Amino acid sequence: MRILLISDVHANLEALQAVLDAAPVHDAVWNLGDFVSYGASPNEVVEQLVPLQKVAVRGNHDKAASGITDLTDFNPLAVSALEWTRTHLSAANGQVLRQLAQGPLLPVEGPACVHGSPLDEDAYIQSRRDAWRPLMESPARITLFGHTHLQGGYMLEDQQCSALNPIYKQGDRPESFMLKLEPEVRYLLNPGSVGQPRDSDWRAAFALLDLDAMQLEWHRVPYDLAETQAKIRKAGLPERLAIRLASGR
């Protein structure tokens, strides 16, 4: 079973397309949430993903864009993006987002899927300190998460928690990094953000989880950044949302 893992697409259609084009052969697509907000293609992204994905959990932006939650917990930039998205999202696509499952979701294949943390769908896991309890208490040995827009993860072995980070040359070409998954170890694994990376690498991030070979491949792939930025500007979204994509911050 080979699973294409995506997260935090954030209405970036060009990045999603590049990921789908570059993805190695897989049996299923699992999506860890935040389909929309920040980018200018929320409807296209939802409509592209719905027929593809076998497993999907909701992100904090999906909840806010579809009216499940209000905008009080968001910074001013996110509020602008969410207000724009609420205006432009179709009723049918809003309904799709409202019906997404809350994590942790436990597909029969074993790994748990969450947006933020297995203990709180909206919590950020950004350090070994943040990772400790989720690693100990997640309902599954392997937990797949997103939300931070940082590709990487954490492992717990013999009561020792370590950070996991793919190593790249940081070029403008596609690259991948392989992690072997050991049997007695607990993992938190983040495929990174398809549509708005924040780990100083502008390329779209995703991962391939191979449950037969027990390995995870992290991937980065370039996409048509200029087109995405032009759409953001044309839509009247904040300029910062176009600029940040170029630096991956």
- State the residues that interact with Zn ion by CB under 5 A: 8, 34
How far is Cα 76 from Cα 79, in angstroms, rounded to an integer?
Answer: 5
**Minimum distance between the CB of residue 235 and Zn ion, rounded to whole angstroms?**
18
How far is Cα 229 from Cα 237, in angstroms, rounded to an integer?
Answer: 10
**Minimum distance between the CB of residue 247 and Zn ion, rounded to whole angstroms?**
17
For Zn ion, the closer of residues 8 and 175 by Cβ is: 8
Q: Exposed (0-12), middle (13-18) or buried (19+): which is 210, by Cβ within 10 Å? A: middle
Instruction: Using DSSP, state whether 112 is helix, strand or coil.
Output: strand
Place of tokens 């938190």: 188
**Minimum distance between the CB of residue 150 and Zn ion, rounded to whole angstroms?**
11
Structure tokens at 97: 């987002």
Sign of CA dihedral 90, 107, 203, 129: positive
Give the start-end residues of each E strand in the chain.
2-6, 28-31, 53-56, 112-113, 142-144, 152-157, 160-164, 175-180, 186-190, 204-210, 215-221
For Zn ion, the closer of residues 53 and 109 by Cβ is: 53
Place of tokens 């909840």: 63
For Zn ion, the closer of residues 34 and 201 by Cβ is: 34
For Zn ion, the closer of residues 152 and 186 by Cβ is: 152
Whether 120 and 77 have beta carbons less than 8 Å apart is answered as no
For Zn ion, the closer of residues 8 and 217 by Cβ is: 8
**Minimum distance between the CB of residue 61 and Zn ion, rounded to whole angstroms?**
6
For Zn ion, the closer of residues 79 and 161 by Cβ is: 79
**Minimum distance between the CB of residue 9 and Zn ion, rounded to whole angstroms?**
9
Which of 155, 160, 153, 147 is closest to 120 using CA atoms?
147
**Minimum distance between the CB of residue 181 and Zn ion, rounded to whole angstroms?**
25
Q: Which residue is nearest to Zn ion (CB)?
A: 34
**Minimum distance between the CB of residue 10 and Zn ion, rounded to whole angstroms?**
6
For Zn ion, the closer of residues 34 and 121 by Cβ is: 34
| CB-based contacts of 185, cutoff 8 Å, min separation 6 | 141, 155, 156, 157
